[in-house]
Amino acid sequence: MTNQIIQAILLGGYYALIACGLSFMFSIMKIINLAHGSLLVLSSYLFWWLADSYAISPFYSLSIVIPIMMMIGWALQEFLLQKSARGGELLPILTTFGLAIVLENLLFEYFGADTRSLAPYIGDLSWESWQILTDIYVGKTSVYILLSAISLLASLQLFMQKTAMGRQIRATAHDPDTAGLIGINARKASAIAAAIALGTIAISGLAMSIRGVFDAYSGGPQLLFAFEVTIIGGMGSLWGVLLGGIVLAMAQTIGASIHPQGFLIGGHVIFFVILLARLYMANSVIAIRIKKVFGGLR
Amino acid sequence: MNTAEKTHQDNSDNLSNRANKYANSVKVTRWTAASKRAVILAALLIIALAFAPLFASVGFIDRLTALFIYIILATMWNALAGYGGLVSVGQQAFFGLGAYFTIRIAHLGLDPFVAVALSAVVVAAVSYPISLIMLRLRGGEFAIGMWVIAALIHLLVNLDGLIQGETGISLISLNSYPSQSRLTIIYLLALFSMTGLLVMLFILLRSRQGSAIQAIRDSEEAASSLGVEPEKVKRLLFVLAAFGIGLAGALWLASATSFQPKTYFSVQWSAYMIFMVLVGGIGKFEGAILGAILFFLVETWFSTAGVWYLVGLGAIAIAFSLFLPKGIWGELERRFNWQFLPVGYHVEIKHSDPNKSNNK
Amino acid sequence: MTALEINSLDVRHGQLKAVRSISFSIEKGEVVALIGANGAGKTTLLRAIAGAHKLTSGSILLKGIDITDLAAHQRVAAGLALVPEGRKLFTDMTTQENLQLGATVSRAGGWSVDKIFEIFPNLQRHRHAKTGNMSGGEQQATAIGRALMSNPEVLILDEVSLGLSPLVVDQVYASLATLIQTGTTIILVEQDLSRAMKVASRAICMLEGEIVLDKKMSEVSREQITDAYFGLAKIKNIAVEQ
């Protein structure tokens, strides 16, 4: 039991990590990026390709992949999202969905149907674990993933709260028209926000490829996880993301203990339970209190 | 500050004079000569298609069946997105359910074609409680929330022992029909389902409710202030779309005979629907039909290209959403003032105005 | 020296011509009161000058430099700041954060967060409070402070005292007086005519998107302004012609 809870918290850390970029983009740019999962897979392939072809350790290639993904984020905002967001809130959904299809099929075309993993490229780390209680072991990678989720969320929070650029991004999210009137380059702020979101996707792509296997079409399920985490944690709250990740993982663990195929079902069910609860007690006292505690960024 | 608010005396007189002048020259109609001709032609075409099995080859009939199913899918997705403002990437939920319930109902011993029809009704019934939760979501949340619904339903269907997980099952009872007449029945069923759904949507959009639907699309706030209940109308569209897409799934099963959950609950179906409607013209009745025909042609010619075919579909969808968001029909309508199946009103201004006549 | 020059500006609101071929120029240090009824086109004109509303035609020069094609944020960098109607604060941010945002373009000048708190001492206690919960007067002060943080040479204030109590309006104008002494060029929209006449050195009256009166305050009577406001001047002129 204790073991299951600990493992679920660690898994929750992974979910929080992959939801980071999606949640950030939604809270700042009001866009649900349906290409989130495919971009995640793209970054995983970048890590794998650097490790496989150039024998670069995945941890070193972070310094290559993060900038690449950030540039993709900037381009995404500048050439796709900015234009399609002007056509109403529905158009970016279609644009990013189209992008997801293009991306995953291109990846399939280039990398083929084999599943890949980065586990072989990180040496003993992939299976090493710590014994924390007599019969409970935690995988080192899972712990590192949880810690990176926490530190990434904390640094995003700090960046948004304490830096001038963070403030400009928040102001642009709140009211781009007025942001322009007081001297903020709203277009630049949005492009930087998109770059940051994609930078976090690079980090979560590393996590995904270290802890398991992936192929060109792994993006869909990852997008669903990330989305569920974002909704469970309460849209637009970065710390809510961590909570959402842990709740999702707990529910999956419970689901798996009820039925052999219950893992994913448990996750989807908790998503709808929370959604219902959130919708029907939106204005109740408890909800407001929870919001205060986990309000985080906004 | 509302600059449109003009209180000054002589100016408002001027405006009302102008309004009177226009009132004499504006003619609001639903039917134009062209649209009357178009509807008569469409009816004749459908009657002609009904006799096609007498002449056409088996392969051709089979392909036409697929086309009719695509038109159903496009029209239903368009009803939801184009008129209800609800973009969904999870409509494969109902497509898969339509096929699944057909298997289940046929398993009870009913005739497979009766099962097809009943299945769609069951799907509509299932969609109602789903609408209660999902319609409270907005924009992207609704879109991807529907995908979660599809994923959940897919997993739940897999739990049914009859389906044997991803291995799937066939609609065996179809074998009681000789293959030639089976094909013809499915073809006619698809043709009539398509016609029925198109007529239903056409009538719905032209009804009082329909005007409400189009009012919501333009502005939800304005619609509420007119006493229209957006929620009710959206629910109607949601259930109608589930019914139609469920029927399409059931027909697809009848035509393909085998049911593998993975194929039917694939998000690819949403991609196809989005492609068809985006290319044809979102929110345009004729646009969805045109989009389905184009998709059908593209599939016929290029689907052998495999992965590149899918890349192309995605890229075309992006290009349309960026550069031609109203689709091909929207563009034709704008340029040539075409409207063959009038769900709105046609405003004609007999006046030497530069905007000679306008479509609403 | 000319601070701001507007040449035959046309602005549309959809089909409606909200601003029709307006031209004027303002000298450095002038305080101009823009007067007109609701719907006369004042806000549209000011937003067009600030770059928040697209022009149909015309040009805008700031210190002789053409800024017509610049985006709103570039105009702020060039030395023009607008305090928009309705304050438009970032309500989920604190007073200090709002002020800091005003310094985004970092033009040289004497304004700092502390200096703003000096001229609006009642803001001090809200320094770290979200602006959404403050009173209208405090919000207006913050909005003005935020605009000042860019060290503008031309400051535009739309509806300075809308929704504020007379006492608060006094405070706001007292701080504006300090500003005027430092030689900042100001355009302000003020519905209270006597106050506008007291603070401004020049009156521009708009009616249906056009300027119907543009005179030094010292050369204009209250009645002339009122007539212009209601469009009576036009009718009287017509009567005279007839």
User: Per-10-residue mean pLDDT for chain A, 298 residues long?
Assistant: 88 95 87 94 96 90 96 94 82 92 95 89 79 82 92 92 92 90 92 95 94 92 94 76 94 92 92 84 59 48
**Residue C34: inside a domain, yes or no?**
yes
pLDDT higher than 70, residue B86: yes
Q: Report the pLDDT averaged over residues C147-161.
A: 90
**Residue A33: inside a domain, yes or no?**
yes
Residue A181: give the domain boundaries.
2-219
**Residue C126: inside a domain, yes or no?**
no
* Chain B neighbors of C43, CB-CB under 8 A: 1, 3
**Residue C145: inside a domain, yes or no?**
no
Q: Which of A190-199, B31-40, B270-279, C81-90 has the lowest mean pLDDT?
A: B31-40
**Rounded CA separation C34/C202 (Å):** 9
Query: Which residues of B have a CB under 8 Å from any CB of A?
Result: 81, 85, 87, 89, 133, 136-137, 139-141, 143-145, 147-148, 151-152, 155-156, 158-159, 267, 270-271, 274, 278, 307-308, 310-311, 313-315, 317-318, 321-322, 325
Per-residue pLDDT band at C147 (split at 50, 70, 90): very high
**Residue B5: inside a domain, yes or no?**
no
* Chain A neighbors of B322, CB-CB under 8 A: 80, 83-84, 95
| Contact flag B321-A275 (C-beta cutoff 8 Å) | no
Per-residue pLDDT band at B127 (split at 50, 70, 90): very high
Q: Report the pLDDT averaged over residues B154-160.
A: 93
* CB-based contact, C43 to chain B, within 8 Å: yes
**Residue B154: inside a domain, yes or no?**
yes
State pLDDT tens for residues A124-159.
777 788 887 778 888 888 999 999 999 999 999 899
pLDDT of res. B39:
83
Per-residue pLDDT band at B185 (split at 50, 70, 90): very high
**Rounded CA separation B346/C8 (Å):** 39
**Rounded CA separation C31/C181 (Å):** 11
**Residue B193: inside a domain, yes or no?**
yes
**Residue B21: inside a domain, yes or no?**
no
* β-pair type (B26-29, B346-349): antiparallel
C181 Cα to chain B: minimum distance (Å)? 31
pLDDT of res. B356:
38
A282 vs C48, residue with greater confidence = C48
- A116-130, B14-28, B99-113: range with highest mean pLDDT: B99-113
pLDDT of res. B153:
96
Q: Report the pLDDT averaged over residues C79-108.
A: 90
Q: Total domain count for chain B? A: 1
| Contact flag A175-C88 (C-beta cutoff 8 Å) | yes
* CB-based contact, C210 to chain B, within 8 Å: no
| Contact flag B145-A231 (C-beta cutoff 8 Å) | yes
In this complex, which of A89, A101, A272 lies closest to B313 when CB atoms are compared?
A101
pLDDT higher than 60, residue B33: yes
pLDDT of res. B358:
40
**Residue C79: inside a domain, yes or no?**
yes
pLDDT of res. B10:
41
pLDDT higher than 70, residue B218: no
In this complex, which of B143, B152, B314 lies closest to A101 when CB atoms are compared?
B314
* Chain B neighbors of C16, CB-CB under 8 A: 3-4
In this complex, which of A87, A93, A261 lies closest to B87 when CB atoms are compared?
A93
pLDDT higher than 50, residue C105: yes
In this complex, which of C16, C85, C231 lies closest to B3 when CB atoms are compared?
C16
Q: Which of B9-23, B146-160, C178-192 has the lowest mean pLDDT?
A: B9-23
For residue A105, give the amino acid letter. N
| Contact flag A182-C146 (C-beta cutoff 8 Å) | yes
CATH number of residue C7's parent domain? 3.40.50.300
B7 Cα to chain C: minimum distance (Å)? 8
CATH number of residue B287's parent domain? 1.10.3470
* Chain B neighbors of A91, CB-CB under 8 A: 321, 325
pLDDT of res. C150:
92
Q: Radius of gyration over alpha carbons of chain A, in Å? A: 19
Chains interfacing with B (3 or more CB pairs < 8 Å):
A, C
**Residue B7: inside a domain, yes or no?**
no
Q: Radius of gyration over alpha carbons of chain B, in Å? A: 23
**Residue C94: inside a domain, yes or no?**
no
* CB-based contact, C175 to chain B, within 8 Å: no
**Residue B15: inside a domain, yes or no?**
no
Residue to mutate among B80, B144, B273, with most A CBs inside 10 A, is: B144
Per-residue pLDDT band at B56 (split at 50, 70, 90): confident
Residue B256: give the domain boundaries.
29-359
**Residue A289: inside a domain, yes or no?**
no
**Rounded CA separation A220/A224 (Å):** 6
Per-residue pLDDT band at B21 (split at 50, 70, 90): very low
**Residue C227: inside a domain, yes or no?**
yes
B72 vs B206, residue with greater confidence = B72
**Residue C140: inside a domain, yes or no?**
no
| Contact flag C39-B11 (C-beta cutoff 8 Å) | no
Is the distance from CB of A64 to CB of A50 less than 8 angstroms? yes
For residue A66, give the amino acid letter. I
| Contact flag C88-A178 (C-beta cutoff 8 Å) | yes
pLDDT of res. C238:
57
| Contact flag B1-C38 (C-beta cutoff 8 Å) | yes
Q: Total domain count for chain A? A: 1
Mean per-residue pLDDT over chain C, rounded: 87
Residue A4 CA: distances (Å) to CA of A16, A18, A253, C162: 18, 21, 7, 61
Q: Which residue matches tokens 């929620």?
A: B231
What are A33's two structure tokens?
């990026």
Q: What percent of chain B has pLDDT over 90?
A: 47
**Rounded CA separation B271/B302 (Å):** 16
**Rounded CA separation B199/B314 (Å):** 30
**Residue B56: inside a domain, yes or no?**
yes
Residue C67: give the domain boundaries.
2-85+153-241
CB atoms < 10 A from the CB of A137, how many?
Answer: 14
* β-pair type (C80-83, C154-157): parallel
* CB-based contact, C80 to chain B, within 8 Å: no
pLDDT higher than 80, residue B115: yes
For residue B12, give the amino acid letter. S
Per-residue pLDDT band at C120 (split at 50, 70, 90): confident
What chain A residue is nearest to B270 in terms of C-alpha separation? A97
**Residue C178: inside a domain, yes or no?**
yes
pLDDT higher than 50, residue B360: no
pLDDT higher than 70, residue B71: yes
pLDDT higher than 70, residue B301: yes
Chains interfacing with A (3 or more CB pairs < 8 Å):
B, C
Q: Which residue matches tokens 């959402």?
A: A244
Is the distance from CB of A126 to CB of A141 less than 8 angstroms? yes
Q: Which of B44-53, C46-55, C166-175, C231-240 has the lowest mean pLDDT?
A: C231-240
CA dihedral (C210, C216, C218, C219) positive or negative: negative
Is the distance from CB of C129 to CB of C94 less than 8 angstroms? yes
**Rounded CA separation A82/C200 (Å):** 42
**Rounded CA separation C210/C206 (Å):** 5
Is the distance from CB of C158 to CB of C190 less than 8 angstroms? no
